[in-house]
Amino acid sequence: MELNILTLCYLIGSITFILGLKMLSNPATARKGNLVAAGGMTIAIFGTIFLYEENGAKLGNYPWIFAALAIGGIIGTMAAKKVKMTAMPEMVSLFNGMGGACAALIGFIEFGHLAKGLSNGGVIHTGMLSIILVGLVIGSVSFAGSMVAWGKLNGKLKDFSFPGQHIFNLLLLAIIVSLSVYLVVNISPENVYLFYVIAGLSLTYGVFFVFPIGGADMPVVISLLNSFTGVAAACGGFLYDNKVMLTGGILVGAAGTLLTMLMCKAMNRSLSNVLIGSFGGNKSGGAAAGSTPQGNYKEISLNDAATVMAYANKVIIVPGYGLAVAQAQHTCHELEKYLEEKGVEVKYAIHPVAGRMPGHMNVLLAEADVNYEKLMEMEQANDEFKSTDVVLILGANDVVNPAAKNDPSSPIYGMPILEVEQAKTVIVNKRSMKPGYAGIENDLFFQPKTSMLFGDAKKALQDLLAEVKNV
């Protein structure tokens, strides 16, 4: 009877995961979707703790289990509540890395059991050993890669590469696969140590896999590593014949893979190009290859910017990472509401890879209670720029660079962008004229209809709002 109840718990958990993922596709139901999925996970966890039996024995060790749950829950809650929006991408990387580490640890524990049985004359099932190795390798790569991504996103690690590194990475991957196949085919007490060699090589590969990838490609890398963690978790579901763990891992792996593909499409690049191209790795501060000095730019005063926006019929705001850095989303929403009181139509244009993680700008604006109906995807926004009086760009750079369309020598050539230059007036808020995260000059800043409004985004928006009120 208890087994049937446990199966029911797992079924409820699997269904809530699917429903929760479906609800995440709509911002109006996204919060509820998270709660639904979390509720299903809670049922599955407590069902396992109290109902799971093996050889007639229950889990036991309840003090250790609940102590770990309490510690993890407290740390996770505090981290999520205190994290700033600018630090959200690295927190996602860190948490994802923990998932990969858990999957790898499952491999260590289960292989330890198999090795013990092997030393006592037992036989290891090659299928189970294969699943353990797949989970170990993918989990280790996800953990190490996520830690490097976390370090690069928070500025503790810099891009690192050496001549022939991609060849080195491919050779290292080939060695890992070869050793894994050899261990499965020829497992014996004498070569058990190869398992730990494979683990070490997998961690090394994870580090060198992410190190050379440019900063502008970090959203794609985060999404890819997330899919890795999902696959590793699914391997754990196979090992334990745990349906809810298997379902959750498959959903994460599939969603991460699809998101990675969509983001690559949004950048008009293949995944192999992202992994090899090191786009955004040039941080010298000067113009990168493919960019040339464009001449003079012009500044706009706060009073002129406020006037042109207050008397506009339509204003489109393009948020970027600079908005997140300045924590200016709430001030931006205030400006939006005041402009609407003056009869101005205000919308937001969101590029798929704006920010440092998938959906960064959507989350940022949702935190400020911006109506999701005002957020336009790239294709819709590009259709509306021609009828727009003013485009206000807040900290975005590479996603509005016309070089992606006009300069074949530019590293971003071919990447779909927000075609803001079609609007009547473009106002760009930046701290300085330094290149964006991809390290290349932006042609937009030097065009006749573009004006620069320098300064911290929050301070600039506060001053702009005050000026708009006086118009």
Say if CB 79 and CB 73 are below 8 A apart.
no
Query: What are the C-alpha distances in Å from 263 to residues 16, 53, 224, 247?
Result: 27, 43, 10, 24
Burial label, 424 (beta-carbon count in 10 A; 0-12, 13-18, 19+): middle
Please, which residues bridge with residue 450 across strands?
A: 426
Residues 217, 398, 407, 443: which is the catalytic one? 398
Single out the residue of 422, 421, 420, 402 nearest to residue 412, CA to CA. Answer: 402
> Angle at which helices 360-367 and 329-341 pack, to 10 degrees?
70
Residues 6+ apart with CB under 8 A from 248: 13, 14, 17, 41, 230, 233, 234, 237
d(CA 98, CA 212): 22
**What does DSSP say about strands 390-394 and 375-377: parallel, antiparallel, or unpaired?**
unpaired
Residues 6+ apart with CB under 8 A from 239: 106, 110, 128, 131, 132, 135
Residue in the block written with tokens 């573009």: 450
Single out the residue of 438, 429, 283 nearest to residue 354, CA to CA. Answer: 438
Active site residue 398: yes
d(CA 106, CA 234): 12
The helix/strand/coil state of 58 is: strand
Kindly list the catalytic residues.
398
